[in-house]
Structure 1
């Protein structure tokens, strides 16, 4: 009798294992889990465990399969096997990038687990988003997580809630808007309206939670989608196939049903950088993090709907970088710092053999370095004499190694006329530059 019970239990376990292949399931009785995230430059970063290794991933509705970036020793660290080489294509004017497609990986996000997940390992040394974010980011995940759950993104309190669709109950919400989703190549699209050049234009937009901007529009004279006369040319971002450049401007209003946002930032990428994105002929652009963060959002891919509720960020002004500087983490700098623990001792140590004097009032340490990687033409920073490759030492009297990258960048979004004083290292020389932030529209 005991043997028979054991066989039945074993068969039940094997049946559930085979049924769960290729899908995320939640391993708790509630069939729901809450996961905290970091919001960095309007982009969500979540902890993801792959084959037992905990990493940081961007949560990006604009991608289908998970991608691992090059700076890990992927094959050894993650024990990735069963691979084949393929090519991936994305935004940017560069060529496709080679990647290893790996099968049968175990991915765990909170209590959600998938025992048979495909992923792509990209070895291109230039594809690394961590320096631009100032935070370790090892990959991107999107559709494979969203397709299996109702995903609530609470931007105001910085948490996700994943729930099995059959267990999810919608609450009455008079202040919410519910919109239909459309899918193309496993990516979600939404219909919206843009007020620009004194016209109201309906647009179909990719929902791109992995983008930090507010709105991208693809210029199309036949539809009336074009930049106003007030714009500046700028670096817009870095895609899978390289950097993207284009115009930055404003639109008068942007509407998602009855939710209307005023004076919204918009970018118009050059057509040469978005040829791949325009393969979906009905697509007019992208809706990204600087708009999404103003809502608490419920994605329900299985029912093809999205629910939006305004949060406390809704009325925040749409600001932009007025300096012309793009920064990135650029390795470490060796610094000689005062050792506060030994400052009162005022003692020295001498080596009798080599006669080396070490002053223990000071200590040598490694600190993060931030470099200028993009510089907008005719911007206040360029006109002041700053150059690409300059390493920031201090800004407005603060040592940059004491600041996070996003804290420094936020200074460039300050008010028109704000004074910026920067000390930089240029080829070993310490130089000082002063300029004022300039509002362009």
Structure 2
């Protein structure tokens, strides 16, 4: 008997699976639990325990079944069972990749537990998003959590509130706006309006908490969705099947019922990178982390509702990387920490002449392992490109601050989001040689 061969699309993941008691339940007295999360580059990172192993997952409303990356041979420690080989395909220009589909796994997120959860373990150990975010990301989870529970995302205080459906009590909320959710292959969509060239165009948008941009729009001349005169070609992100490229620009406004988000950034991805995302013919794009974080959000998939309340991030200006550089964590470097001290010492104790006192420097070095950051992407004709920087350069310092002193990769990248004409000085290592480059940030959409 031939084994069935599946091709599954990550970003618009097929969801024709049968569920048999695979559901999350909050195992607490009140049926409610709060789970703290990290917000990194507009992305939500939550703690997930699988078969007793503690991991960090990206919370992504754009995926159906959980994905596990195998870059640390995690699938061995997870004791994956009942595995079946499949192929996954997602955003990007690359090919489909091999994965194992596993059943009957125990998932725990705070007090929420599912004792019969499917997952997909990617076999290629080189494929992961950890080095692009600068902290461990072991996998992605989405629909299976949202379909069972009422999920509140509090971006302000950075916690998820998970509630069993039968224990949820909808409270009145001044200033809130409730929108209808529509679903296609288990992905949540919401209707909005984009203001492009003074035309209000109705759009159906995927709610994509797994994207760090503000908006993605799919160009469509027939209805007027096009980039305006001010745009530039750029790297937009990483998908399961490779890098995604396209145009960066701005639009006048994005409307979600009574909420108006002014002058948001927008990306128009190349069709070669999003072919499978276009399977849903009514879809016009995605609303992602840089807009979602401006609200505290309650998702109720079972009722087909999402409730939004704007928070303190709502009026933040939209920024983007003006350097042309994308950095990635690339292992560690040995860094020499100078812990030397300076002390006075007298040459001749019997002498009263001050000149006989000398300063003695006692060097004391320690070698420490520190994160190494390399240039992963470099936009052609960008300020960094014109200055002479190259892909593969290891960044040693930025504006005279050692790169390893930045607590997170996000903190270092933040310097590239500064104002037009801000000066940047980079010291890099290339082929064993230390080089210094200087350039100024350029606002291409000014």
Q: What is the aligned partner in structure 1 of residue 40 from structure 2?
A: 40
Give me the whole-angstrom Cα distance separating, in 2, the residues matched to 1:93 and 1:171: 45
SS of the residue 1:365 aligns to: strand
Q: What is the aligned partner in structure 2 of residue 399 from structure 1?
A: 402
Give me the whole-angstrom Cα distance separating, in 1, the residues matched to 2:307 and 2:253: 20
Give me the whole-angstrom Cα distance separating, in 1, the residues matched to 2:28 and 2:330: 42
1:20/1:114 contact within 8 Å kept: no
Q: What is the aligned partner in structure 2 of residue 308 from structure 1?
A: 308
Q: How many residues align?
A: 410
Q: What is the aligned partner in structure 2 of residue 421 from structure 1?
A: 425
Give me the whole-angstrom Cα distance separating, in 1, the residues matched to 2:182 and 2:56: 29
1:74/1:80 contact within 8 Å kept: no
What displacement does 1:21 show?
3.2
Q: What is the aligned partner in structure 1 of residue 267 from structure 2?
A: 267
Matched, 1:80 2:80: yes
Q: What is the aligned partner in structure 1 of residue 336 from structure 2?
A: 336
TM-score using structure 2 length: 0.90
TM-score using structure 1 length: 0.91
Over aligned residue pairs, what C-alpha RMSD do you find? Answer: 1.6
1:106/1:113 contact within 8 Å kept: yes
2:71/2:126 contact within 8 Å kept: no
Give me the whole-angstrom Cα distance separating, in 2, the residues matched to 1:266 and 1:366: 39
What displacement does 1:343 show?
7.5
Q: Deviations over 1:243-299 (max 9, x none)?
A: 100000001000000100111100000011111000011011111000000000000
SS of the residue 1:222 aligns to: coil
Q: What is the aligned partner in structure 2 of residue 9 from structure 1?
A: none
Change (3 A) 1:422 1:20: same
What displacement does 1:335 show?
1.7
Q: What is the aligned partner in structure 2 of residue 200 from structure 1?
A: 200
Q: What is the aligned partner in structure 2 of residue 92 from structure 1?
A: 92
SS of the residue 1:410 aligns to: helix
Give me the whole-angstrom Cα distance separating, in 2, the residues matched to 1:190 and 1:72: 37
What displacement does 1:197 show?
1.8
Q: Deviations over 1:394-413 (max 9, x none)?
A: 00110000102111100000
Matched, 1:409 2:413: yes
Give me the whole-angstrom Cα distance separating, in 1, the residues matched to 2:166 and 2:397: 54
Give me the whole-angstrom Cα distance separating, in 1, the residues matched to 2:175 and 2:336: 56
Regions of 4+ moved over 6 Å: 342-346
Q: What is the aligned partner in structure 1 of residue 66 from structure 2?
A: 66
More displaced stretch, 380-389 vs 118-127: 118-127
Unpaired segments ≥5 residues, structure 1: 1-18, 347-358
Q: What is the aligned partner in structure 1 of residue 438 from structure 2?
A: 434
Give me the whole-angstrom Cα distance separating, in 2, the residues matched to 1:160 and 1:277: 28
Give me the whole-angstrom Cα distance separating, in 2, the residues matched to 1:435 and 1:85: 49
2:73/2:125 contact within 8 Å kept: no
1:146/1:301 contact within 8 Å kept: yes
1:20/1:115 contact within 8 Å kept: no
1:415/1:437 contact within 8 Å kept: yes
Give me the whole-angstrom Cα distance separating, in 2, the residues matched to 1:422 and 1:360: 28
Q: Deviations over 1:125-175 (max 9, x none)?
A: 442111110011000000000001100000011000000111111111230
Change (3 A) 1:421 1:200: same
